[in-house]
Structure formats: structure tokens, C-alpha cells
Amino acid sequence: MPLYRAHVLVCGGTGCTSGGSDKIYDAFLKEIENFNLKDEVQVIRTGCFGLCAEGPIVIVYPEGAFYSKVADSDVKEIVEEHLLKGRIVKRLLYKESLEEGQIKSLNEVKFYKKQMRIALRNCGVINPENIEEYIAYDGYKALAKVLTEMTPEQVIDWVKRSGLRGRGGGGFPTGLKWEFAAKAPGDVKYVVCNADEGDPGAYMDRSILEGDPHSVIEAMAIAGYAIGSKQGYVYVRAEYPLAVKRLEIAINQAREYGLLGKNILGTDFEFDIEIRLGAGAFVCGEETALMTSIEGHRGEPRPRPPFPAVKGLWSKPTLLNNVETYANIPVIILKGPEWFASIGTEKSKGTKVFALVGKVNNTGLIEVPMGTTVREIVEDIGGGIPGGKKFKAVQTGGPSGGCIPASLMDTPIDFDSLTALGTMMGSGGMIVMDEDTCMVDIAKFFLEFTVDESCGKCPPCRIGTRRMLEILQKITSGNGTEEDLEKLEELAYSIKDSALCGLGQTAPNPVLSTLRYFRDEYEAHVKEKRCPAGACKALLRIVIDKDLCKGCGICAKNCPANAITGQIKKPFEIDQTKCIKCGVCIEKCPFKAISKKA
């Protein structure tokens, strides 16, 4: 590889790509050619840098200048000023990274300061389409180590001692899972990676596959060695085209370099990986449904036991872990189980990647040690709530999870504390909500998702969740009764107890958790026909303030429903039965006399 004097890293994560980082990359190539800098400056597309709210992001080394919200029209200036003349384009620098005239390094910016990147260690750092960059950062060294220095039993022992738990949701001890698969009788075994991320608001797995696909490949090979398997499958949704493409490139490179296939690194170990595309049904993230789907059938779950470790893919013992779980493995092998176990809380070791989204200033992909509090995540890393609004709750765990209210903001986040709060880690979506969010509406949103995604195999999930959704619709439209609340709760508990798979069993969680912490909101909807957050349209009233109204009649003229009447120069009135709550009158009133009332 030739030596360049500057590297331009353009974020190639999905967030920045949808913000136009493709064009930015092309513009850099063009301008660098124009200014004849081709032999000095290298442009690289990386994975997600994490700070998606500030995207598209470009970092220029060696200065480490962190440019945010870059547009393709800015590229010429960066090339001419920074790369050619060495003058950093200050107007494009991320505002926090320029203090006292000095460029702060990425790690010193508030967003990154409290983070610890293990699973995301290479995301935004290396070019994911270049295996040598992965190797440069100790890639495949862990595989080399296990193949030459460790027995399969030792590998499993290390994973067990590290305390790593599955990052896919349930938090089952990973080492134990490996041990079950290793001890299961049979010559043919499989290693499977679950990359069927489907929670609304979550994109951790996608970002790892896009930013550092080799770490997953390496970990799967290590797992293959540990349990005695020759074949791996990555089950990834077809809606993740960039992740699929990068994974394909990475697998082919690994084969070329002899890191997959026969006689890996000159030993007699053999392992290969194939990609299986899923059509993106939420239920296919459930392990038994996922395996059924890989086998070529319709992705429907089956009862467990037998567990996959005993009877999985094609009835052979199968080890199934999620993307983020695998991404931790090479580091554990290189740095040792004690190092990993020293991070986090007593029963949850290491770090967790969260997709921080919703009503928070710095949305993005973050990785924090287990035990970090909700407050630290929302206030320090997330930079607080936009518009000076009040923090209300975070929702974690997707449709299978629940809410943490503001009063419990200082809870350290780990598997068990979340479960105790009635929510869960899940794959790691974290949706921040402010005072304008109606909790009944949120529960309705997640239930709509579950109803759409239910595979329909078992009646509690197929029928029960739909009945729950109907009740929620009734409540948010202002027709709910106290009886409905009781029915809702009863339904929730019986679905929890009777559904076939994890998805059905957890589908009532958003309802149960909001009922637990925000019961007063449900009651306001039912008893007072009022939505305290002012979000449920049907329960809003639009009213005219008699003291402010000058009787001009502009509102009545603009009302599409003819709901406003009155005499000129006297206060007008809105007929609530005719009002469709469109808000046109609020916009048109020159005296600000009309407003929404919860």
C-alpha cells in the first residue's frame, strides 16, 4: 500500500448514506483528482461513526478534524482549504470539537467521552471493505491464537469466564450456550449469526455489519473451532443491502486470504460461512423461526425444548448468537476474560451498544459500559432533550420491552435492572420521549407493530394482540371505559402466559409497562376523556380565548368544517362536535387567541 499523507474518512453508515454521503465520497474523489492530490490523499468509506444526528460526517487525518453535517457542495472547500492549503474549514467543524482554537480529538468530545467501544471498536475507524485494515487493528489475531494456542475447551472456558451474555435480548450466558453446543452429540454442527434486527428504532447490528464485518466472521470461525463446526450461516435481512454487500465482500476477502475455507492459517481447521437473506419478518429474529427460515420454510417458531444447541438447523446441534455478541468475542480472546469481566456490573459484563433515538439532541449509535445510568446516556451523551422540553421516559427493548420513567433515571442499566423495571435490554433500541409523548399512544404504536408482524401460528398472539390494539384505539379516540382498562390488563397477562414464542409472550409488555408507570395517563383518557400530553388528536379541544378574541371572524372564514360561528366584534366560538382539529384556525388567528387544550 502506498503511503498517503492524509486520509479522508467518509461515514458510510446507513444514516450518513441516506444523508448523501455517497455523493460526498464521489465529490472528494473528483476534487482530489482536480487538485492533483491523488497520490497524497486517500479517501475511505468507513462504517458508522455513531453521531448520526450530526451526519453526514467526514474526518480528516492526521489532524483528526471532525466535520459534521457536510454537504457535497462543501467538498471543494475542504479539499482546497484543508487538504491543499492546510487550513481547517472551521465553519464545518463539529461545534464542540473546536475549543480554544485547538481541535479536540474525537474521544474528548462529550458524545464520545463516556463511551467505551468494544463491539464498535473498528466502526468508523477502518475501511470495512479492506481486510488489511482489519488485520492492522489486530484482526484475525484472536483466531490465530485459538487455533494454535488453545483447545476448544479453553476457548469455551474463556467465554464463560468473561461473563458475556447474549446481546440479542434475553441475555443468556454466551459461554454456557457454546458449551451446550459443543457437548451436544453429533459430527455435523452449525454456527449461526442472527442479523435479523427488526425492532423499531434499532440499528446496532446493521451498523456493526456495515462498519466491521470481519469481526463477526472472525468470531464465527472461533465459535466453529470451539464447538466443532465447519459451516456457518449469517441470517441477515434483505432490507439491509449495504450490510449484505459489505458482508459479501468481507467473506470473499477472508476466503482469498485463507482465513475461511480449508486449512485456515496452515492448521487443519476448516470453516466457511454463507449468507442467508431473510425477507424481514420480525418473527424471523426468534431463533427457532430463524432456523426454519434458513431451511427454506416459512419462518414460524416452534416450541422449545429441544433447544437449538441440541436440535437446531436441519435437526443438528446449532450455536446461534447475535451480531453484537459475536463482535465482542475476538477482543475477549485477545485481552483475556478477566479484562472483559472487569467492565460492567456484577452480573452484566462488558458494554452495550444502543441506538439512541427519539427526542434527544445527539441521536446516534453509542456503546457504554454496563451500569451506565439512563441519566448519563440521555443528558451527557445524548446532550439532553431538544427545545427545552422535559424528559419523560425512555423505551428500551423494542416491542418486547417497556419504559423507564423519568423518576427512575438514575437506574444503572444492565440486564437484570431493566428486567426488574419491567422492561428489557432487547437488542438495544433506546427511544427517548419528552413531555409531548402520550404513553398510551406509544403502547398503541408498538402493538400495531406486533399485530402486523405476528406470524399467526398461535391464537393468543394472532387474536389476542389484535383485541388489545382495538381497546387501545378505543381509549385514544376517547371512547374508552374503565372496564376496558381491566380487560386490557387481563388480556395482557393471558397472552403473556399462553403465546407460543418469545415474541407473543412479550407483545403485551409495552402495555403492561406503561400501565405500571403511567396509569394516570390511561385514567385521564378513560375518565376525563383527556390526553395529558396533548398527543391524541381525538381528545384535543381547540378553544378560543374570549379575552383575546377581537371578533374578526378570520377563523370562521378559514374553518374547513364550518365549526366556528359568531358575530363580528364579539368573541367567536367553536362547536366541538363539528371541529376536526385540523388547527387551521390556530394558524390563521392574528391575535393568538386560539389554542389546543389537552
Partner 1 sequence: MIKSIQELEEIRKKALEELEFRKQQGEGIRIVVGMATCGIAAGARPVMLKFVEEIQKRNLKNVTVVQTGCIGLCKYEPIVEVYEPNKEKVTYVKMTPEKVSKVVAEHIVNGKPVYEYTIGYEENKEANK
What is the contact surface with partner 1 in residues (CB under 8 A)?
1-5, 7, 9, 40, 61-64, 83-87, 105-107, 125-126, 132-133, 135-141, 144, 148, 256-259, 263, 265-266
C-alpha torsion 13→16→22→23, nearest 10: -170
C-alpha cell of 486? 381491566
Quick one: 18 or 34, whose CB is closer to partner 1? 34
We find the least distance from the C-beta atom of residue 250 to partner 1, in angstroms, to be 15
Cβ 555 vs Cβ 543: under 8 Å: no
Cβ 221 vs Cβ 213: under 8 Å: no
Quick one: 66 or 178, whose CB is closer to partner 1? 66
We find the least distance from the C-beta atom of residue 62 to partner 1, in angstroms, to be 4
User: Could you give the residue ranges of the DSSP H alpha helices within 421-567?
Assistant: 439-453, 459, 465-476, 482-498, 502-506, 509-517, 519-527, 554-558
Quick one: 63 or 452, whose CB is closer to partner 1? 63
Cβ 190 vs Cβ 319: under 8 Å: yes
Cβ 495 vs Cβ 504: under 8 Å: yes
Quick one: 150 or 461, whose CB is closer to partner 1? 150
We find the least distance from the C-beta atom of residue 479 to partner 1, in angstroms, to be 60
Quick one: 220 or 403, whose CB is closer to partner 1? 220
d(CA 242, CA 248): 10
Q: Per-residue b/e over 577-593, b at no fewer than 16 CB within 10 Å? A: eebebeebbbeebeeeb
Chain centre to alpha carbon of residue 162: 24
We find the least distance from the C-beta atom of residue 5 to partner 1, in angstroms, to be 5
d(CA 441, CA 429): 18
d(CA 214, CA 127): 11
C-alpha cell of 36? 492533483
We find the least distance from the C-beta atom of residue 141 to partner 1, in angstroms, to be 7
Quick one: 253 or 318, whose CB is closer to partner 1? 253
Quick one: 61 or 307, whose CB is closer to partner 1? 61
∠ CA 228-231-232, nearest 5°, is: 110
d(CA 122, CA 250): 14
We find the least distance from the C-beta atom of residue 78 to partner 1, in angstroms, to be 13
Quick one: 87 or 298, whose CB is closer to partner 1? 87
We find the least distance from the C-beta atom of residue 293 to partner 1, in angstroms, to be 34
Quick one: 125 or 164, whose CB is closer to partner 1? 125
We find the least distance from the C-beta atom of residue 91 to partner 1, in angstroms, to be 15
We find the least distance from the C-beta atom of residue 86 to partner 1, in angstroms, to be 3
We find the least distance from the C-beta atom of residue 80 to partner 1, in angstroms, to be 11
d(CA 409, CA 394): 9
We find the least distance from the C-beta atom of residue 163 to partner 1, in angstroms, to be 28
- For 168, 209, 326, 509, the CA distances from 273, given in Å and listed in that order, are 20, 14, 14, 36
We find the least distance from the C-beta atom of residue 25 to partner 1, in angstroms, to be 17
d(CA 7, CA 5): 7
Name the residue with cell 399512544: 441
Quick one: 49 or 572, whose CB is closer to partner 1? 49
* Helix-strand-coil split of the chain, %, nearest 5: 45, 15, 40
d(CA 563, CA 577): 8
Q: Is 431 helix (H, G, I), strand (E, B) or coil?
A: strand
Quick one: 84 or 188, whose CB is closer to partner 1? 84
We find the least distance from the C-beta atom of residue 127 to partner 1, in angstroms, to be 9
Contacts of 343 (CB under 8 A, 6+ apart): 116, 118, 349, 350, 351, 369, 370
Quick one: 218 or 441, whose CB is closer to partner 1? 218
Quick one: 102 or 567, whose CB is closer to partner 1? 102
Q: Cβ–Cβ contacts within 10 Å for residue 279, how many?
A: 11
We find the least distance from the C-beta atom of residue 554 to partner 1, in angstroms, to be 57
Q: Is 475 helix (H, G, I), strand (E, B) or coil?
A: helix
d(CA 383, CA 362): 6
Quick one: 39 or 528, whose CB is closer to partner 1? 39
